[in-house]
Copies of this chain bind each other. A is one copy, B any other.
Amino acid sequence: MKSQSKTFILDPRLENDTLLISSHASLQIRLMNDQRWPWIIVVPEQLEVEDMDDLDIEALQALTKCLSDISAALKRMNICSSTNVATLGNMVKQMHWHVVGRTQGDANWPGPVWGFEKAVPYSKEEVAGFMANFKKEFRV
Q: Interface residues, chain A, CB within 8 Å of chain B?
A: 50-53, 55, 57, 60-61, 64-65, 67-69, 71-72, 75, 82-91, 93, 102, 109-112, 114-115
Q: Quick one: given A53-B69, A61-B61, A114-B112, are A84 and B88 in contact (CB under 8 Å)?
A: yes
- A109 → chain B closest CB, angstroms: 7
Instruction: Count this chain's copies in the assembly.
Output: 2
Is the CB–CB distance between B86 and A51 below 8 Å? no
Closest to A69 in B: B53
Cross-chain contact B75 with A64 (CB below 8 angstroms): no
The CA-CA distance from A88 to B90 in the complex, in Å, is 17
A65/B75 in contact, CB under 8 A: no
Known: A64-B60, A68-B55, A109-B90. A82 touches B50 (CB 8 A): yes
Taking a contact as CB atoms under 8 Å apart, the answer to whether B52 and A68 are in contact is yes
**CB of A100 to closest CB in B, whole Å:** 9
